[in-house]
Chains A and B, each alone.
Chain A
Amino acid sequence: MILKPFEYSSPHSLQEACKILERHDDAKILAGGQSLLPIMKLNLTEITHLVDIKKIPNLSSIEVSNDQKSLIVGALATHADVERSDIVKKVLPLLAETESSIGHPLVRNRGTIGGSISHCDPSGDLCVTSLALDASMTIARSDNSRRVVSAKDFFQGTFTTALKKGEILEKISFPIPPRGTGCAFEKLTLGHGDFPLIVVSVVLRMENAKCVSAAIAIGGVSDRVIRVTRAEDLLKGKVVHAEDLERAATIAEEESKPEADIDVSAEYKKKMVKVFVQRALEKAVERSNEV
């Protein structure tokens, strides 16, 4: 149980929430709590103030932008909301697939997309997928202004994001891939619903069997989620064959530096990077043909 006492507030506006964060050195945002509360129960943190943002309206919507080019998801949309959303399934199934793999339904009914992304776990499923999709994060500040940070600038290190003191992630904008794009998501866990060991998210934009652009994002292999640009460049602009996909997967393996866990070795994880990247690429090519 949580032993360290803390104050709790539940403001009704983002601006108010930002101001509270600015006022306290050890204040934290409470969204779904599925990452934060287990950490607090270990009693190794010094959190003195929890700012519950769930009373703030308009933070959980899921909608397509006016120009139809982006899917905009509010930070407080739960994993279950996103997983089940018809809009998401239609325009960005990769995101629904990613969400459906997180933990188990009890966690998904409570945990939020904004919470997961702000938590910035080096093997975070949503971090990997938002990096693969070149998402942009809209950040709210205490002066009520907003700034937008791209996914690649947002994830800066283990549990470290671009969020400065007093800032709160408001929404995430995902460019909707054009027709002919194939996406795939693969992950390695030792048990269903476990913390992911390796996460792979792949977005291949194809035009007439030629790869226009590729995004290969991996989690669990570094201090943050990464894009394997060397592998992406290999595929870009080419008519891709099975050997190219394998070569790209090998590059991904080479770029990966996973660490061992108590019951799984770093070598195995590295091997699995290649296996899962290759499988994801193959699936993505297949799906790009399906449209």
Chain B
Amino acid sequence: MMSNLLKVTFKVNGSSKTVEVDTRDSLLDVLRDSLNLTGPKKGCDETVCGACAVLVNGKAICSCTMLAVETEGLEVVTIEGLSENNELSPIQKAFWMHDSLQCGFCTSGQIISSKSFLDGLDGRIPNEEEIKEALSGNLCRCGAYNKIVEAVAEVAAIQTHKGKMN
């Protein structure tokens, strides 16, 4: 079977990577198989469940519905890239403390979407409906929805407060 291989260079979790990919490979497959970043998950492979969400240039997208070749020159951040020096980011800590997860399979995607949303708030405090809408592409079969919203609301409030103090 013929295949088309291309080299792509892009940033992943802060470091530059050059990977040879098949044009048909999704970003999700390349992250998981070539770069051993198994945080993002393949829940449906059809842009509905959100378990594969990663940040591309700061915005949360479904990595199952993006080709690896499209990442040339872009910055990708996966769940693994949110912690710094083994220190969990505020949203990760909040998820853990609020029990905003059960089986944990959707958790990477939920946190990525939350991060993208929180980073776009610019100091605003969101209401519950806004948070739910922002995460409406992330399914959770275990039903951690209430506690996910609580965690995001808490982090939003803290980051706004911190912003005001600065």
Residues in A lying within 8 Å of B, measured CB to CB: 1-8, 10, 30, 33-34, 37-38, 41, 50, 52, 54, 80, 103-107, 109-110, 192-193
| Cβ proximity bits B135-146 to A, threshold 8 Å, 1 near / 0 not | 111100000000
Known A7-B23, A109-B60: A104·B50 in contact at CB below 8 Å:
yes
Q: Which residues of A contact B22 (CB under 8 A)?
A: 5
Q: Tell me if B159 counts as interface (CB < 8 A to partner A).
A: no
Contact of B70 among A1, A6, A7, A30 (CB under 8 A): A30
Known A2-B24, A7-B23: A38·B46 in contact at CB below 8 Å:
yes
Q: Which residues of B contact A105 (CB under 8 A)?
A: 60, 113, 116-117, 133-137
- Give residues 55-91 of B contacting A (CB, 8 Å): 56, 59-62, 65-67, 69-70, 72
Q: Tell me if B148 counts as interface (CB < 8 A to partner A).
A: no
Q: How far is the CB of A77 from chain B (nearest CB, A)?
A: 13
Whether A193 and B136, one on each chain, are in contact in the complex, defined by CB atoms closer than 8 angstroms, is yes
Cα A8 to Cα B4 with chains together (Å): 8
Whether B62 and A5, one on each chain, are in contact in the complex, defined by CB atoms closer than 8 angstroms, is no
Whether B45 and A107, one on each chain, are in contact in the complex, defined by CB atoms closer than 8 angstroms, is no
Q: Tell me if B158 counts as interface (CB < 8 A to partner A).
A: no
Q: Which of B50, B66, B67, B133 gathers the greatest number of chain A CB atoms within 10 Å?
A: B67
Q: Tell me if B2 counts as interface (CB < 8 A to partner A).
A: yes
Q: Which of B24, B134, B136 gathers the greatest number of chain A CB atoms within 10 Å?
A: B24
Residues in B lying within 8 Å of A, measured CB to CB: 1-4, 6, 22-24, 26, 29, 45-47, 50, 53, 56, 59-62, 65-67, 69-70, 72, 113, 116-117, 133-138
Q: Which residues of A contact B2 (CB under 8 A)?
A: 5
Q: Which residues of A contact B137 (CB under 8 A)?
A: 103-107, 193
Tell me if B's interface is mostly helix, strand, loop or mixed: mixed
Total CB contacts across the A-B interface at under 8 A: 91
Whether B24 and A38, one on each chain, are in contact in the complex, defined by CB atoms closer than 8 angstroms, is no
Q: Can you spell out 5 A-B residue pairs with CB atoms less than 8 angstroms apart? A: A5-B1, A34-B65, A106-B60, A107-B65, A193-B137
Cα A52 to Cα B137 with chains together (Å): 25
Q: Which of A2, A8, A34, A104 gathers the greatest number of chain B CB atoms within 10 Å?
A: A104
Q: Which residues of B contact A37 (CB under 8 A)?
A: 26, 65-67
- Beyond the given pairs A33-B65, A105-B60, A105-B135, 14 more chain A to chain B contacts, judged by CB atoms under 8 angstroms and listed by A's residue number, are A1-B29, A3-B24, A5-B22, A8-B4, A8-B6, A34-B47, A38-B46, A50-B67, A105-B116, A106-B61, A106-B62, A106-B137, A107-B65, A109-B60
Q: Which residues of A contact B1 (CB under 8 A)?
A: 5
Cα A5 to Cα B4 with chains together (Å): 7
Whether A1 and B65, one on each chain, are in contact in the complex, defined by CB atoms closer than 8 angstroms, is no
Cα A33 to Cα B2 with chains together (Å): 23
Contact of A6 among B24, B47, B59, B60 (CB under 8 A): B24
Whether B47 and A106, one on each chain, are in contact in the complex, defined by CB atoms closer than 8 angstroms, is yes
Q: How far is the CB of B85 from chain A (nearest CB, A)?
A: 28
Cα A110 to Cα B116 with chains together (Å): 13
Contact of B45 among A34, A41, A50, A80 (CB under 8 A): A41
Cα A110 to Cα B53 with chains together (Å): 12
Whether B4 and A33, one on each chain, are in contact in the complex, defined by CB atoms closer than 8 angstroms, is no
Cα A52 to Cα B71 with chains together (Å): 11
Q: Which of B4, B45, B61 gathers the greatest number of chain A CB atoms within 10 Å?
A: B61
Whether B70 and A106, one on each chain, are in contact in the complex, defined by CB atoms closer than 8 angstroms, is no
Whether B72 and A6, one on each chain, are in contact in the complex, defined by CB atoms closer than 8 angstroms, is no
Cα A105 to Cα B62 with chains together (Å): 10
Whether A7 and B133, one on each chain, are in contact in the complex, defined by CB atoms closer than 8 angstroms, is no
Whether A10 and B72, one on each chain, are in contact in the complex, defined by CB atoms closer than 8 angstroms, is yes
Which residue of chain B has its CB nearest to the CB of A36? B65
Whether B23 and A50, one on each chain, are in contact in the complex, defined by CB atoms closer than 8 angstroms, is yes
Q: How far is the CB of A147 from chain B (nearest CB, A)?
A: 29
Q: Which residues of B contact A6 (CB under 8 A)?
A: 4, 23-24
Contact of A7 among B4, B26, B53, B65 (CB under 8 A): B4
Q: How far is the CB of B76 from chain A (nearest CB, A)?
A: 13
Cα A88 to Cα B56 with chains together (Å): 24
Q: How far is the CB of A73 from chain B (nearest CB, A)?
A: 18
Known A5-B2, A103-B137, A193-B137: A109·B61 in contact at CB below 8 Å:
yes
Cα A5 to Cα B53 with chains together (Å): 25
Q: Which 4 A-B pairs have the closest CB atoms?
A: A104-B137, A106-B137, A2-B24, A109-B59
